[in-house]
Structure 1
Amino acid sequence: MTTNRCLTLIGAPTDVGASVLGASMGPDALRIAGIAGALRGRGLQVSDLGNLPGPGNPQAPASGGWRHLPEVTAWCQAVHVATAGVLQAGALPLLMGGDHSLAIGSISAVAAHCRASGRRLKVLWLDAHADANTPASSPSGNLHGMPVACLLGQGPQQLVELGGAAPVLSARQITQIGVRSVDPLEKQFVNRQGIVVHDMRAIDEQGMRAVVQQALADVDEHTHLHVSFDLDCLDPSVAPGVGTPVRGGPTYREMQLCMEMLADSGALASLDLVELNPALDTRNQTAELAVDLLESLFGKSTLVRP
């Protein structure tokens, strides 16, 4: 598991990038589910920055190929600043969303930190969706479907250049796991960029163990591993509290194995936990599941393991 034992929670209570209202309640649902206490139980020193301030959701129609660009930009800028501050202080930032457009802010800050410190960045994107639409390809204009494209330099200038350097990532720095819903033009973009995608067919055919081994094959002691975990990656039968559920995702046990293997890598250095929608949940069970999985990500196991 990660050698950094100081962790800071960052709440970003917004759903301005999403298609469905409710993700704005995600950070507080995670707090109610006991996220801080559970992580302290793993031996971590946990602090909580509280919820970042930001604009409300105007619920406006798409314009120019996207919805709510000024609001998403403001939230991503706030997340960028907060994440950069946590990394500068030597702690591990855990972004609690909020919708997945926020990852533009967190990952741009992580990338800048890695450039400054000379560390290699690897991003694991756990998601039912590729999130690689552009304004030209998106059917809806919702920016939570565009963060990967923005990080690769394709999208609104305000978001593409959020961290200064553009593009923030190269395709070889990101690996996706659990994908099973990709729009037609988005498929072409993913193929052109050469993004490594372990979709659900790969998990079905090879098993989660082999997929995670492949995803971590280039991770070593010089790697900063960032995990961007969209809770709709999980099958909605176990994680109903998400805005864009897609049938046929990883089971509870498959995702537990993924978390345990990521912990074993010892490379985890920053984390997004996004798209939790308590308005669609049942008695906060998806938030409680997320906390359970986080415990495994930070080293919880059935038996004592070296």
Structure 2
Amino acid sequence: MISIKKYAAIDIGSNAMRLLITNIVEQKGKDTQFNKSELVRVPIRLGQDAFTVGEITPENIDRMIDAMDAFKLIIKVYKVERYKACATSAMREAYNNKEVVHIIKEKTGIEIDIIDGKQEAAIIASSDLHNLIATDKTYLYVDVGGGSTEFSLFSDGKMVVSKSFKNGTVRLINNMVNEVVWEEIEKWIKQHCEPYENITLIGSGGNINKIFKLSGKQQEKPLSYMYLNSQYQYLSSLTYEQRIAELGLNTDRADVIIPATRIYLNAMKWSGARQIYVPKIGLSDGIVKAMYYGKI
């Protein structure tokens, strides 16, 4: 006999909002399975507000309300028994974040938890990585968002250290990341990776997922540094319009994919990694697992 639970996670990021619905399959004597049932993404770029004017604008608050109403209906249709909404970098930095949380709760009934960078990194790290992380290898897990990037180092099957930096794609396209931040990231990666040999990157985030999809590779195969660098050069040679028309990128993906690729490339260079694996996991997957195991 199997038991199936339906959980949902709402990830309120700096570049988009996502709803993930997951079927959790329990079977006696076997590992619990977390099977994605539905993923809905809406391109509300909250970071454009928070990082440039310091607040979430009334227009985007209205769009958030509409998105949350839609998510709530989908959750109802799927008969989800538990869900949680978490907001990251953009909402962390907006000075009217408490007001926005109150309005969303009042209008839609959905309560939003604003999580800090350390919590975000821990939740992401609790994603379903055990199939990738071999106990005899060392991995640097890199999750690139719109407002921040989370780095987690794994060795011997366990997380050694993690850190969140205010370096994300929406910040980069608005020229809001100075060289000091890049230097801090470089120093942190080199310091923590130096004791280990043969480090491999694990990349998560919508941009690296898109690059992997364009590569046509099978899910369990990695991308090489040379391939990623060649894609970076190719994408940089195209105009914003060409990336949309010729590659089929979404309008809110076509601008941020280049700075995202730059972050992954630098992480590979500074850690000495020659390969990057791209599992389809992220914050929303981590939220579902954290709920299931009683961590949030």
Q: TM-score under structure 2 normalisation?
A: 0.31
Greater length-normalized contact order (CA 8 Å, ≥ 6 residues apart): 1
More strand by share: 2
